């Protein structure tokens, strides 16, 4: 079904499905389907919407009569012997034969074929923003961060002076977060709280949090406290766009609860991200909110492109800097 849908939805590739063959649609199996409800439902789910025209024997016959140009074998990986048998049968014909591995059953977002020095392999958890794509993203970060830092130098200086005049303590503070590959990095921020410590138990800022200073509430609500992170971007530990870095304590808690949580560390953390401009910014006070944030983070990594980054940056400027969930 998945192969059929791919071909049907992308006619520009040049293929048109003319026949579908499946032994389970054969007469003998029709009888079994009637007497075995579980198998009937299972087969119904698999073949729903497909115009099944015959069995694998019919496939061999039609191939010899040149009724089509190519065959896509889309059987599950466990059917190795049946796949080999079909390939042998089709070797007597002139049709092109393609075996489509059953990757649809593998639970991952990044599956694709790779070539390792001539050895074909299936990549499951590889970093998709690597190689030439990684170089392009790094150049994007360097150029944009230099331009932005030149623009925000005076506003940052003003923020630093106000912080120093309105509360005791340092202007900046550094948080330990997980970066690319889950390695610890130090993330810079303007201090917005009376205390700024990362412990084993991390408490997210909440509405009317007494730890937040008056000016701190303003810079948090407008995300101005994040501006020093452009130095992280220039230094290479962060990216302008990417999954927002979570507290270490949150990472350790959620990695065992949310499947695929650590996949968000397959790229550098960002100052803004797809999740943030999609409504998942600030406090995540429920498991569902965190799951949705992670879903958007993984979706970003899978779909990454320079244009996608610029779209997220534009959305951040329009609506991302001022959020109802940012305390």
pLDDT tens-place string over residues 133-151: 899 999 999 999 999 999 9
Query: Contact at 8 Å (CB) between 297 and 262?
Result: no
Q: What percent of the chain lies above the pLDDT cut of 70?
A: 80
Distance of CA 118 to the CA centre of its chain: 28
pLDDT band of residue 313 (cuts 50, 70, 90) is very high
Average pLDDT of span 122-136: 80
Helix residue ranges, H only, the chain:
2-9, 27-35, 37-47, 56-64, 80-90, 131-166, 214-221, 229-235, 248-254, 274-277, 287-303, 306-315
pLDDT band of residue 243 (cuts 50, 70, 90) is very high
Query: What pLDDT score was predicted for residue 36?
Result: 54
pLDDT band of residue 193 (cuts 50, 70, 90) is confident
Distance of CA 111 to the CA centre of its chain: 11
Residue 226 has pLDDT above 80, yes or no: yes
Q: Which of these ranges, 45-49, 79-83, 92-96, 240-244, has the smallest mean pLDDT?
A: 45-49
* 132: three-class secondary structure by DSSP: helix
Average pLDDT of span 67-88: 91
Query: What pLDDT score was predicted for residue 286?
Result: 78
Please state, as a whole number, how many other Cβ atoms lie within 10 Å of the Cβ of residue 194: 13
Query: Contact at 8 Å (CB) between 15 and 60?
Result: no
pLDDT band of residue 107 (cuts 50, 70, 90) is low
Query: What pLDDT score was predicted for residue 84?
Result: 93
Residue 14 has pLDDT above 50, yes or no: yes
In the chain, % helix, strand, coil (3-state, to 5) comes to: 50, 15, 35
pLDDT band of residue 221 (cuts 50, 70, 90) is confident
Q: Which H or E element spans position 121?
A: strand 119-123
Residue 280 has pLDDT above 90, yes or no: no
* 80: three-class secondary structure by DSSP: helix
> Ranked by mean pLDDT, which of 121-125, 222-226, 241-245 comes out on top?
241-245
Mean pLDDT of the chain: 82
Query: What pLDDT score was predicted for residue 200?
Result: 46
């Amino acid at each position: 079904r998945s192969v059929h849908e791919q071909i049907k939805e992308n006619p520009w590739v040049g293929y048109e499905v003319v026949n579908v063959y499946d032994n389970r649609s054969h007469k003998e199996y029709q009888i079994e389907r009637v007497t075995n409800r579980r198998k009937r439902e299972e087969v119904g789910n698999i073949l729903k919407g497909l115009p099944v025209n015959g069995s694998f024997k019919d496939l061999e016959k039609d191939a010899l009569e040149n009724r089509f140009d190519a065959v896509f074998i889309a059987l599950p990986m466990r059917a190795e012997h049946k796949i080999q048998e079909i390939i042998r049968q089709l070797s007597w014909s002139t049709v092109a034969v393609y075996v489509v591995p059953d990757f649809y059953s593998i639970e991952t977002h990044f599956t694709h074929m790779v070539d390792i020095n001539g050895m074909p392999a299936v990549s499951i958890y590889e970093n998709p923003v690597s190689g030439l794509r990684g170089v392009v993203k790094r150049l994007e970060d360097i150029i944009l961060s230099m331009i932005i830092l030149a623009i925000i130098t005076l506003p940052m200086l003003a923020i630093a002076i106000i912080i120093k005049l309105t509360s005791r303590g340092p202007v900046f503070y550094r948080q330990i977060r997980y970066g690319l590959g889950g390695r610890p990095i130090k993330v810079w921020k303007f201090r917005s709280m009376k205390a700024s410590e990362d412990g084993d138990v991390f408490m997210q800022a909440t509405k009317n949090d007494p730890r937040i200073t008056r000016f701190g509430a303003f810079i948090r609500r407008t995300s101005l406290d994040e501006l020093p992170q452009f130095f992280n971007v220039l230094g290479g530990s962060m990216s302008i766009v990417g999954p927002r870095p979570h507290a270490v304590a949150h990472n350790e808690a959620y990695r065992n609860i949310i499947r695929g949580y650590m996949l968000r560390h397959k790229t550098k953390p960002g100052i803004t991200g797809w999740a943030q401009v999609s409504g998942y910014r600030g406090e995540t006070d429920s498991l569902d909110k965190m799951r949705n944030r992670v879903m958007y983070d993984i979706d970003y990594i899978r779909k990454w492109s320079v244009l996608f980054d610029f779209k997220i940056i534009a959305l951040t400027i329009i609506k991302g800097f001022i959020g109802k969930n940012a305390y």
